[in-house]
Amino acid sequence: MPPTLFRTLRFGEIEPVRAAGLHWLPLRHLLGVQAFGVNAYTAAAAGEDVIEEHTEEGLGHEELYVVVAGRARFTLDGEQLDAPAGTLVFLPEPATRRYAVAEEPGTTVLAVGGKPGEGYEVSAWEWRFRAVPHHDAGDWAGAEALIRESLEAHPGDGASLYDLACVEARAGKHDAAIEHLRAAVAARPEVREWGAGDSDIDALRERPDFPL
C-alpha cells in the first residue's frame, strides 16, 4: 500500500482540549507531525488567553505565531503588539517573555517551533495536556498511561512526575504517588508551590513521608 500523501484538518472540526487555562488544538498529534512542533490555541470569548505567559529558555526553541482568525494582543517583553488575522510574529530569542490574549471571539493562533540545528523532539507537556480530559473525567488509568508516555520520552521530567503523582494519589496508589512526588520535588523545586493547594494530593498530606 502506498504511503499517505497528505493529511488534512479544519480548525472548526477539532475539539479543543482545555488545559493550563487554554483551549488547545493538538495539531501535531492529530496530524502525526514528527519533524517540527505545531499546535494552535483558540478562544471562545474576547479576553481569553491564546498564548500562556512563558519563555522558551528551557527548550531553546524559536517560535512563529500566526493569527489565523480574529485578533490577538501580544505582550512581548512588556511591549504590546496588536495582531489582527494574518499577522505573523516570529520570536528567534528563547528568552523573550511572551503572552497573547484574544481581542475577539474565535481568535485562533497557530504556533510553530523548534530548536535551531537539532532534530525535533516532542515536548513533555503535550502528553500532559492530552491527559487533562482523562483526569477531568476521572479516568485515572487513561491519564496515567499518557503521563507515563511523557516520562518514557523525557525521563526525570519534573512536571510529568508531579502530574503522575497527582493521578496516582487520585487512584489510591499512595505509595507510588509519594515516590513520584519526592522525585518531582528533586527535579523541580517549584513543585512545593504547585502542591500547596492542589486537591489532587490531599489524600497524601497526613502521611509522615509527605515531601511537601
Domain boundaries, the chain: 11-114, 124-204
pLDDT at 3: 61
pLDDT at 118: 85
Q: Given 3.20.20.70, 2.60.120.20, 3.90.25.10, 2.60.120.10, which CATH number is that of 11-114? A: 2.60.120.10
User: Model-level pTM?
Assistant: 0.83
pLDDT at 58: 86
Rounded distance between C-alpha atoms, residue 71 and residue 109, angstroms:
9
pLDDT at 62: 96
Rounded distance between C-alpha atoms, residue 166 and residue 157, angstroms:
14
Rounded distance between C-alpha atoms, residue 113 and residue 39, angstroms:
9
- The residue type at 80: Q
Rounded distance between C-alpha atoms, residue 120 and residue 160, angstroms:
19
Rounded distance between C-alpha atoms, residue 176 and residue 72, angstroms:
43
pLDDT at 155: 96
> Does residue 111 contact residue 51 with C-beta atoms inside 8 Å?
yes
CATH 1.25.40.10 fits 124-204, yes or no: yes
7 Cβ contact list (under 8 Å, min separation 6): 31, 32
Give mean pLDDT in consecutive 10-residue pieces for the chain, a chain of 212 residues. 77 92 95 93 97 93 97 97 98 97 98 90 93 96 97 95 97 97 95 93 94 90
